[in-house]
Amino acid sequence: MNTKHVLVACGSGIVTSTIVMAKISREIQARGWTGIELTQGTLSDVYAQTADYDLVVTTTPLEAGPDERIISALALLAGDDTAAFFAEFAHYLSLD
Amino acid sequence: MKIFIDAIMYIVNLGPTVMIPIIMLIFGLAVRVPFAKALRGGLMVGIGFIGLNATVSILTDVMNPAIQSMIKTMGLHLQVIDVGWPSASAIAYGTAVGVSIIPLGILINIIMIVTKTTQTIDVDIWDFWHFAFSGSLVYAMTKDIVLSLFTASVFMIIVMVIADRTAPLVDKYLGLPGISIPHGYAATYVPTAIVMNWIIDKIPGVNKIHLEAKDFNKKFGAWGEPTLLGFVIGCFIGLLAYIAVPGISIADKIGKILLMGVTLSAVMVITPKMAAMLLQGVVPVSGNIQKWTQKKFSGNRKLYIGLDTAVGIGSPVVLACATLMIPVALLFAFILPGNQFLPTIGLVGFVFMFPLIVSVVHGDFFRSFIIGAIHVVIGLWIGTDLAPLVTRAARAAHFSIPKGSTLINSIDNGSDPFPWVFVKLAQNKWVLYAFGIIVCAILIFWNRKKIVAEENAKPAEAAK
């Protein structure tokens, strides 16, 4: 199976992206998903290299981004219902 | 009180690489993180500290000779090295004020929520470092821990009120419902941005200018990418430093210039990785605090979730302005009289100053740019002025900064209006006490009045 590459981006690849990375990793383990590689980066990485990734997760709702495969992880930061986020996540990466 | 302060001072004097793991372990256990996880978290923070210390050393080692050479051959007196905000945050947490800020900040937030003087649950624990940063500068100057903690508290209270009052704008112009941004670096510009926006409104012609940001990002959005940006800026500084040095061959000069480019690029890329490691250690603690406060206070009252300014950077105007600030800061660093600040590593942090500025000007690109640029240019002066204190605070946090002429600061935090005002007022501590008490009293009464009025309006609407 091919590894799926996900870019997790915030302003400078330090604070909010680390929080989101931790939450996504935990969920990936809990659901037993495999073959997903998370990379941490910045919003300018999103503009520079979205084409290299299967999915981009940003910690902010990105208006008018360079591509359609970009989803917002705001719900993970605000502590709201996270099911919708992971449904979207699974949909884009074709996971069950 | 004395024993408490002595205990803090003992732990602080061990140096952050030992102190922070201990403190984070204690915090972790206090918020019921399992022991092994809490210890690992604490150690990750210490590891991040050592990593950031190393990146500051790498940077100062190459920048120092370059700066000396620029002074000698070009007469350019730009001797304040920009270490970027990740290192500034480590400095802030590595001082006596930093140690106390997390419990103090949570306490202030809880008191403000209970007394209805704020509507924000600030779950962005990490960013308490901004409050600690101002406090640390006051501490570096006065050695007065009570005054320094007072400074940090005043900063936080002002920021909480700004967060509440800007929340409806954040919803409308950044698309973030139910969220406020109690972030020191973003909020510091709000009062002056409101004034500047009002002035722009009064200037005929200028008040009609509107620009579009979306297409700009498609073309230039990738320019802030640190690998290439660091290389280009490094080569540029290397060129200025070594091109006119007499007595070395062109080949050697090119070698030095390229070395500068690769090194700056390296520091720009490595610094965030080190800071991210540090954050991995903070996440278990801040996560548990967030769960607890949200469970405790979410209920019938309307409360905003206070998040990092990073949640607001998806607006095209924010990103476009941040990209444009890079050339603005570099250009003015060379032409602004009296400036000694050479912005480098911190250039990628401008993105965090804009979410609240953009909200205040109702999403207008032109106004955000003008207001941002004025702040960045004035920030060069503030950064120059604060550099000796930041350097002293960094040494107090056991950062290895070579003796002699080297000064450090961060363009994206050591050059803000709030810290500067606090430091200036702290020259007479009673002035700072009086200022802090009066400003906070006015703000919290005003905010409480607004909150209560809003709450009373709701049932009336529901009754109709």
**pLDDT tens per residue, range B143-159:** 999 999 999 999 999 99
Query: Which among B161, B169, B176, B206 is positioned nearest to B443, based on CA atoms?
Result: B161
CA separation for the pair B380, B340 (Å, rounded): 8
Sheet with B120-122, edge to edge strand ranges: B120-122, B304-306, B179-180
The 8-class DSSP code of residue B169 comes to: H
B-chain residues near A79 (CB < 8 A): 123, 290-291, 294, 305
- At B346-364, the pLDDT tens digits run 998 899 999 999 999 999 9
Q: What is the enclosing helix (H) or strand (E) of B122? A: strand B120-122
Contact B314/A12, CB-based, under 8 Å?
no
Q: How confident is the model at residue A39 (pLDDT cuts 50, 70, 90)?
A: very high
- At B321-350, the pLDDT tens digits run 999 999 999 999 999 999 999 999 999 889
Q: What is the dihedral of CA B444, B139, B423, B417, to 10 degrees?
A: -60
- Is the pLDDT score of B404 beyond 60? yes
- Is the pLDDT score of B105 beyond 60? yes
Cα A69 → chain centroid: 10
Identity of the residue in A12, A61, A63 whose CB atom sits nearest the CB atom of B349:
A12
Cα B52 → chain centroid: 16
Task: Please state the φ and ψ torsions of residue A8, each to the nearest 5 degrees.
Answer: -110, 115
Chain B residue closest in CA terms to A42:
B225
Q: Is A38 on the interface with B (CB under 8 A)?
A: no
Q: How many residues does chain A have?
A: 96
Contact A42/B179, CB-based, under 8 Å?
no
Encoded tokens for B89: 């945050």
Query: Which among B173, B170, B193 is positioned nearest to B182, based on CA atoms?
Result: B170
Q: How confident is the model at residue B225 (pLDDT cuts 50, 70, 90)?
A: confident
When pLDDT is averaged across residues A2-7 and rounded to a whole number, the result is 90
Residues 183-222 of chain B with CB under 8 A from chain A are: 214, 217-218, 221-222
CB-defined contacts A:B, below 8 A: 116
Contact A44/B225, CB-based, under 8 Å?
yes
Encoded tokens for B166: 């800007």
- Is the pLDDT score of B300 beyond 70? no
Identity of the residue in B221, B283, B291 whose CB atom sits nearest the CB atom of A22:
B283
pLDDT above 90 coverage of chain B, percent: 62
ipTM metric: 0.86
Contact B310/A15, CB-based, under 8 Å?
yes
B-chain residues near A16 (CB < 8 A): 307-308, 310-311
Task: Please state the φ and ψ torsions of residue A40, each to the nearest 5 degrees.
Answer: -95, 140
What's residue B327's pLDDT?
Answer: 93
The overall average pLDDT reported for chain A is 88
Can you tell me whether residue B305 is helix, strand or coil? strand
Q: Are B137 and B147 in contact (CB under 8 A)?
A: no
Q: Is B316 on the interface with A (CB under 8 A)?
A: yes
What's residue A50's pLDDT?
Answer: 79
Identity of the residue in B175, B276, B351 whose CB atom sits nearest the CB atom of A40:
B276
* Domains located in chain A, CATH noted: 4-92 (3.40.50.2300)
Name the amino acid, one letter, at B2: K
Chain A residue closest in CA terms to B281:
A18
Identity of the residue in B178, B276, B286 whose CB atom sits nearest the CB atom of A13:
B276
Interface test with A, best of B85, B121, B123, B217 (most A CBs within 10 A): B217
Give DSSP secondary structure letters for B368-401: HHHHHHHHHHHHHHHHHHHHHHHHHHHHHTT---
Q: Is A82 on the interface with B (CB under 8 A)?
A: no
- At A47-80, the pLDDT tens digits run 888 788 999 999 988 876 667 789 999 999 988 7
- Is the pLDDT score of B464 beyond 90? no
Q: How confident is the model at residue B106 (pLDDT cuts 50, 70, 90)?
A: very high
What's residue B461's pLDDT?
Answer: 60
Residues 63-82 of chain B with CB under 8 A from chain A are: none
User: Residue A85 — left, alpha, or beta (φ > 0 → left; ψ -120 to 50 → alpha)?
Assistant: alpha
Q: How confident is the model at residue B462 (pLDDT cuts 50, 70, 90)?
A: low
When pLDDT is averaged across residues B292-308 and rounded to a whole number, the result is 83
Return the number of other C-beta atoms located less than 10 Å from residue B251's C-beta: 8
CA separation for the pair B363, B318 (Å, rounded): 9
Give DSSP secondary structure letters for chain A: -PPEEEEEEESSSSSHHHHHHHHHHHHHHHHT--SEEEEEEEHHHHHHHGGG-SEEEESS--TT-S-S-EEE-HHHHHT---HHHHHHHHHHTT--
- Is the pLDDT score of B192 beyond 70? yes
A-chain residues near B280 (CB < 8 A): 18, 22
Chain B residue closest in CA terms to A49:
B222
B-chain residues near A59 (CB < 8 A): 308, 310-311
- At B235-275, the pLDDT tens digits run 999 999 998 888 889 999 999 999 999 999 999 999 999 99
The overall average pLDDT reported for chain B is 90
Q: Domain extents for chain B?
A: 63-224+284-459
CA separation for the pair B429, B417 (Å, rounded): 19
